[in-house]
Structure 1
Amino acid sequence: MELHQLRCFLVVAETLHFGQAAQRLDMLPSALGRHIRLLEESLGTRLFTRSTRKVALTPDGTQLRDDARKLLAQADAIAMQFRHRARHRAALLRIGTIDSAATGLLPPLLHAFRKAHPDAEVQLMEDKTVHLLPKLKSGRLDLIFIRPPARLDEEFAQQFLLYEDIVVAVPSRHPFALRQSLMIEDLANQPMIVPERRSRPHSYDLTMNLFHDAGLTVHISQVADEKQTIINLVSAELGLAIVPQWSSRISLPDVSFVPLNVDARSTRQGLPLAAVWLRSASEPLRDAMLEVLNSHREFYSRPGTV
């Protein structure tokens, strides 16, 4: 029996849905099912009853759910205790960030932080929101800059920073490349490249909702995961893409970035960015970083600064 298997089991036990659990864990359903089978084999008992319509816990599964919660909480507390001691010895701050903040917000913020705390070491981890939140929860990160989900667990504290402006990436030979700005109606019938919703729900939903609010249908020509890949696909003239303004810093000679004007009555304000941390964790360096952030509001107070 491994801790990872218990973590997989607990998510299935809480959702009672293998597909939803696999999505939450960012795993293939087949891999999740294999971990559950191995756990059942190691314990010599069945943990779930499964039919085509529902998944339910067996009595042993119910008992293990309660025990696993206690065991994993204790394991996380032990790990956090030792990481906390090591960080205090090393004066280390571990920051997780999405690509947008890594490109726009973090460089000036780190510059100001290092001037105020020259002896502190900062480690950066760039990843997607869906991956950064579990790392923060387990104590592997101290502070993250993410696209905040609609509902955030009570154990997290957050500070909203801004809505990032959006632009349209277009091939440089496209007629739109000469425009000063675009409206969403201009994109009707244009082939659109969109991100994977599982890994970038804010960006995907923003594109789909902008079209929906205008009464338009999105003509998706390609789905891709990484922003760099999306921009390269635009360069190859496979379609247009609605992307955060920071993407215009990706320099490709065959791609132009044109501001997208959103109707002032629209509730689609751009892409949100927030700083998030654990409420219960006492982290002096993290608090020092937040203090620097709040004393330099020019880093994020203007739209499009990230």
Structure 2
Amino acid sequence: ELLAGRARRVLDELEQARHELARLAGLSGGRLRVGTFTTAGIHLLPPVLSAFRRAHPEVELAVADYEPPGGIGAVVAGEVDLALTHAYEPAAAEPPPAGVLVEPLLVEELVLVASVGHRLSEGTGRLPVGELAGRPLISSAPTHPPRRGVEKALAEAGATPAVVCESPGYALVCALVSAGLGVAVVPEMVASMATAPLSVRRLEPASFRRTISVVHRGERSTAAAATLLALLRSGFGRGSAAPAR
């Protein structure tokens, strides 16, 4: 046990030295492993990776899908160099594990989506969440940890689950809504980029939100990870997502 503890410290020092030398030498090779979740992987990550590839064509890129909060554990375990993850409000905040930083990139509201012509989509003002009382709701992954707080708040407002959709992917949720099986509350990025025809309306209060963050190792990040992190900051730097259509 004594030897194992010392060996871990020695290996950590060697890894840190390798990272520092890589920064001095520049990005002339190596591998960058990125974790993401589906929405960010489709709508946010590709242009950033494209910019990275243009600047550093010799770095091998690997992308893996982790449903949040799985990406955090993947960074802790060393499976990926950094990862995109998300958290919802309302929800109980949990501190990140030791050794990693969770840095917010953008915050987006959760909005109501309904089938085209649905009565709840009428009007241009915000819809009080109490108006969902008694309305058939597509309950989006009620057992999914990031969504539990949102599902609880909707239930307290009186929304009645008509369909329980256990998939954390929103494409299926939007398809069920478009087919008239109920309404749903989804991130505005999902609503604005859905392929199924939908009506969208903002909610009151505006405290239903999703924060997209990047998980990284701070000063212990590799040179490649630090470069991609800078691109993510410059591209999304804590702003809000584009408004839903």
The alpha-carbon deviation at position 159 of structure 1 amounts to 1.1
TM superposition score normalised by structure 1? 0.61
| 8 Å Cα contact 1:100-1:244 kept in structure 2 | no
CA 1:177/1:262 → structure 2, altered by over 3 Å: closer, same or farther?
Answer: closer
Which of the residues 145, 150, 161 maps onto 1:206?
150
Which of the residues 80, 89, 98 maps onto 2:37?
98
Aligned partner letter, 1:220 = P
CA 1:296/1:250 → structure 2, altered by over 3 Å: closer, same or farther?
Answer: closer
Which of the residues 112, 115, 133 maps onto 1:188?
133
1:218-233 to 2 correspondences below 5 Å:
218-224=159-165, 225=167, 226-233=169-176
The alpha-carbon deviation at position 251 of structure 1 amounts to 0.8
Count of paired positions: 221
Higher helix share: 1
Q: 180-189 vs 281-290, which deviates more?
A: 180-189
Task: Give % identity.
Answer: 23
TM superposition score normalised by structure 2? 0.74
Point out where structure 1 has 5 or more consecutive residues left out of the alignment: 1-66
CA 1:104/1:259 → structure 2, altered by over 3 Å: closer, same or farther?
Answer: farther
Query: Counterparts of 1:114 and 1:270 in 2: how far apart (Å)?
Result: 32
SS of residue matched to 1:129: coil
Aligned partner letter, 2:152 = M
1:302 aligns with 2:244: no
SS of residue matched to 2:96: coil
Please identify the structure whose Cα radius of gyration is greater: 1
Tell me the residue number matched to 1:108: 47
1:255-274 to 2 correspondences below 5 Å:
256-263=198-205, 268-274=207-213
CA 1:140/1:301 → structure 2, altered by over 3 Å: closer, same or farther?
Answer: same
Query: Counterparts of 2:239 and 2:200 in 1: how far apart (Å)?
Result: 22
Higher strand share: 2
The alpha-carbon deviation at position 169 of structure 1 amounts to 1.7
Query: Counterparts of 1:111 and 1:182 in 2: how far apart (Å)?
Result: 39
Query: Counterparts of 1:189 and 1:168 in 2: how far apart (Å)?
Result: 15
1:167 aligns with 2:167: no
CA 1:96/1:305 → structure 2, altered by over 3 Å: closer, same or farther?
Answer: farther
| 8 Å Cα contact 1:197-1:205 kept in structure 2 | no
- Runs of 4+ in structure 1 deviating by more than 4 angstroms, as ranges, are none
Point out where structure 2 has 5 or more consecutive residues left out of the alignment: 20-26, 88-92
1:293 aligns with 2:232: yes
Over the residues paired in the alignment, what is the CA RMSD in angstroms?
3.3
Tell me the residue number matched to 2:95: 151
Q: Which has the higher contact order (CA 8 A, sep 6+)?
A: 2
Aligned partner letter, 1:170 = A
Aligned partner letter, 2:240 = R
CA 1:305/1:296 → structure 2, altered by over 3 Å: closer, same or farther?
Answer: farther
1:142 aligns with 2:142: no
